[in-house]
Amino acid sequence: MIRFIIPLIAVILFFLEPVFSLFSPISIADVSYTLVPRFVIVYLIFITAYYGRKRAILYGIVLGLLYDMYHIDIIGVYTFLYPVICYFAALIIRQIHRHIITVMLLSLAMVALLELLSFFFASLIALTSIGFEEFIVLRLMPTMGANSIFVGMFGYLFKRLIDEVGLQKAGI
């Protein structure tokens, strides 16, 4: 049973993202800030760090494909970005100590990278016309803020859970 808990949480986070994005954009003093929930990629980075790169990339491809088909209607954007980000994270994690704080910071850095890449893609196919500075202030910074709250709240929980599953697997 416990084997299924890791993909189950990934699916739950996948479904929670669009629910949280209903709250966005938030306007403060007539300026609307866009908050983008990036729960899935954060979780995938944790899987990369504590469970295995291959598994993370596999989940990345599947969830990315679903994300593209359900939300974006352009197949191939997140199907590509999710696994690539996981691959980069795996390259970096090899060089550093797997402490919970470093993994948290790494996952936030990867959220920023994902946002940046998706911004370049959106500008490329003219989905958006906002400039780079606007993107940083109105989108990237609020997004990072919101996601760091998420990472702070659930990061430790993810680590504990994934460790537990890893131990069980080793025991069998």
Partner 1 sequence: MPRFFSNKRLILLLVGVIVLVALISFSLKDRQNATLPEQIVKDVVGFGQSIFSKPAHYITGTLDKIDGILNTYEENKHLKARLKEYAATQAELADVKADNKNLREIVDKKDSLRDYEPIQATVISRNPDQWEEKIIIDRGEVEGVQLNMAVITASGLIGKVVLVTPFKSTVELLSTENRDFRVAAVIPGEESIFGLIEGYDSTRGELIMKRIDSNFEVKEGQKVESSGLGGIFPKGLLIGEVTEVSTDDFGLTKLAYIRPAAEFSMLDHVMVVKRSSRVTSGTDGKVAGEEEEGEDGS
CB 81 within 8 A of CB 111: no
SS3 78: helix
Which residues form the interface with partner 1 (CB under 8 A)? 11-12, 15-27, 30, 32, 34, 36-37, 66-67, 69-80, 91, 118, 122, 125, 127-130
Minimum distance between the CB of residue 44 and partner 1, rounded to whole angstroms? 15
Of the candidates 13, 23, 37, the residue with the CA atom closest to the CA atom of residue 157 = 13
Of the candidates 58, 150, 64, the residue with the CA atom closest to the CA atom of residue 104 = 150
Is the CB of 121 or the CB of 166 nearer to partner 1?
121
Is the CB of 125 or the CB of 172 nearer to partner 1?
125
Token code pair at residue 133: 């500075």
CB 10 within 8 A of CB 40: yes
Minimum distance between the CB of residue 62 and partner 1, rounded to whole angstroms? 11
Minimum distance between the CB of residue 11 and partner 1, rounded to whole angstroms? 8
Is the CB of 63 or the CB of 103 nearer to partner 1?
63
Is the CB of 16 or the CB of 100 nearer to partner 1?
16
